[in-house]
Amino acid sequence: MTVDAAAPPRRALERRAWTVVALATMCSALPAFLTGALGVQLRDEVGLSATDIGLAMGTSFAVAAVLSAPMGRVAQRLGPRRAFRGGLAVSTLSMALVAAFARDAWQLAAALGLAGGANALNQPSANLLLATHVGDARMGFALATKQSGMPAAALLGGVAVPAIALTLGWEWAFVVGAVLAVLAGVLLPADVAPPRRREAQAELVGGGPERAEPGRGAATAGSTAAAGRAGRSRRAARPDLGTGLLVLYAVVGLLGSANAGAMVGFITSAAEASGLGPGAAGLVLSLGSLLGVASRMFQGWQVDHHGILPIQRLVWLFGLGGLGVLVMAIDAPITYVLAPIPAFAFGWAWPGLFNLSVIRNNPSAPAAATGISQVGVFAGAALGPAVGGVVIDDGGYRLLWLLGAATLLVGSMLAVLLRTRIRASRVATAPALL
């Protein structure tokens, strides 16, 4: 990675980094979300069925899941801007291909599969860019901003229907998305030397304090050893945590994203089936997306300013979100007015903290580490809507929400186990910190 000697002041660089990364992350998710939002137009004007569209979207996330781990290593070796620009170029190409050529199911699936491969590279590249541009004191908020790109893409997809698809044509929505991806690639900041990182917080030591002072470095004997390991690991692109712990992270991410995928995919139809009008049912998803964005930003701010462990907050978000989804199983109109508030505000607010925990525990190779953990997130995003549709056909919406609540509650328990195992691992490898 090159270091820009004329870099602007750190704070301005940080603001630019998380703003552009949020835009770029949104563009990475646009191909799949635009396809879902434009489903009616693709059905009526192209002749694609709901199954065709669903399989094409599932292909995107499935390809991302398969390629996430190797693309994380690629991002680690290329550096954040070079890797991110390459991924955004492929995202641009995929949207251009959909607009120009996707007139059959296999063509749409192929183009979205290409977009999934790009997303597999873009996500760890975004995490690495933030890890090298943003200091610890603002890292939680920066990652929350980046992760808000996903619900923002869902909102933009909904806005694109009346604003573009119904006026200019559905193809132009993808053209506009491609232009945004090019703009995001141009605006990406240059690579810089990463800021000094403090040691991971209470996960490092068994029975350690639940809070750590934000923004302060840890000047310990272990810091020097960690710095040496970091230099070697950057060259080798190897995470600090063992593969087993990163796989456990991936399982937690799979459970959280599977519920989120099912909730985003079916809450509108579920609300309408319960008795709400189509307009009100659509507002349920819009309100939920806005709550998800606001809560992600708030959670990131809190972690930065109060020294809260991201893995500990993750436990609570999964648990409270699971209770909100459980209330939706009552399957009455009033529950779709009230229950989405905790379901989205908690159950869809965890991705920024999830990535923050992975990055803090793998300072030597954040892109390689999040590439592994992101496998579960992508897999859950693919499985949630696919399995959810089968559940609805066989058992109805009530069963879907019962299963969704169960996945979040199990995820909360696994997050507790993950934290315990990380502590044990750190104690075994760095006893001098005790």
User: Alpha carbon of 86 to those of 1, 21, 74, 181, 333: distances in Å?
Assistant: 15, 14, 11, 11, 46
pLDDT at 277: 79
Final residue of a structural domain among 187, 218, 253: 187
Query: Is 172 among the domain residues?
Result: yes
**pLDDT tens column, 182-213:** 999 999 988 776 665 544 444 443 333 333 33
How many residues in total does the chain contain?
Answer: 434
Query: Is 143 among the domain residues?
Result: yes
Query: Is 68 among the domain residues?
Result: yes
Sequence-ordered list of residues with C-beta below 8 angstroms from that of 379, at least 6 positions apart, any chain: 61, 62, 65, 250, 254, 257
- What percentage of the chain exceeds 90 in pLDDT? 32
Predicted confidence (pLDDT) at residue 234 exceeds the cutoff of 60: no
Rounded to whole angstroms, the Cα distance separating 374 from 253 reads 7
271-275: average pLDDT: 83
Does one domain contain both 135 and 51? yes
pLDDT at 258: 92
Q: Assign 322 a pLDDT band (cuts: 50, 70, 90).
A: very high
**pLDDT tens column, 111-137:** 999 999 999 999 899 988 988 888 777
Query: Is 4 among the domain residues?
Result: no
pLDDT at 304: 86
**pLDDT tens column, 48-104:** 876 787 788 888 888 998 998 899 889 989 999 999 999 999 999 999 999 999 889
Final residue of a structural domain among 187, 208, 227: 187
Of 124-128, 147-151, 152-156, 399-403, which has the strongest mean pLDDT? 399-403
Query: Is 213 among the domain residues?
Result: no
Does one domain contain both 302 and 181? no
pLDDT at 201: 45
The mean predicted confidence, pLDDT, of the chain is 81
Rounded to whole angstroms, the Cα distance separating 174 from 107 reads 15
Does one domain contain both 141 and 276? no
pLDDT at 94: 96
Query: Is 135 among the domain residues?
Result: yes
Identify the three-state secondary structure at position 330.
coil
pLDDT at 429: 61
Does one domain contain both 170 and 262? no
Backbone torsion region of residue 103, taken as left when φ is above 0, otherwise alpha when ψ lies between -120 and 50, otherwise beta: alpha
Expressed as residue numbers, the domain containing 21 is: 10-187
Identify the three-state secondary structure at position 308.
strand
Query: Is 223 among the domain residues?
Result: no
Tally of structural domains, the chain: 2
Does one domain contain both 288 and 418? yes
Rounded to whole angstroms, the Cα distance separating 209 from 212 reads 7
pLDDT at 206: 36
Does one domain contain both 18 and 105? yes
Final residue of a structural domain among 156, 187, 218: 187
pLDDT at 283: 74
Q: Assign 272 a pLDDT band (cuts: 50, 70, 90).
A: confident
Does one domain contain both 21 and 133? yes
pLDDT at 100: 94
Does one domain contain both 405 and 261? yes
pTM of the model: 0.75
Which has more pLDDT, 289 or 78? 78
Predicted confidence (pLDDT) at residue 9 exceeds the cutoff of 70: no
**pLDDT tens column, 367-384:** 888 889 989 998 998 888
- Domain CATH code at residue 419: 1.20.1250.20
Query: Is 339 among the domain residues?
Result: yes
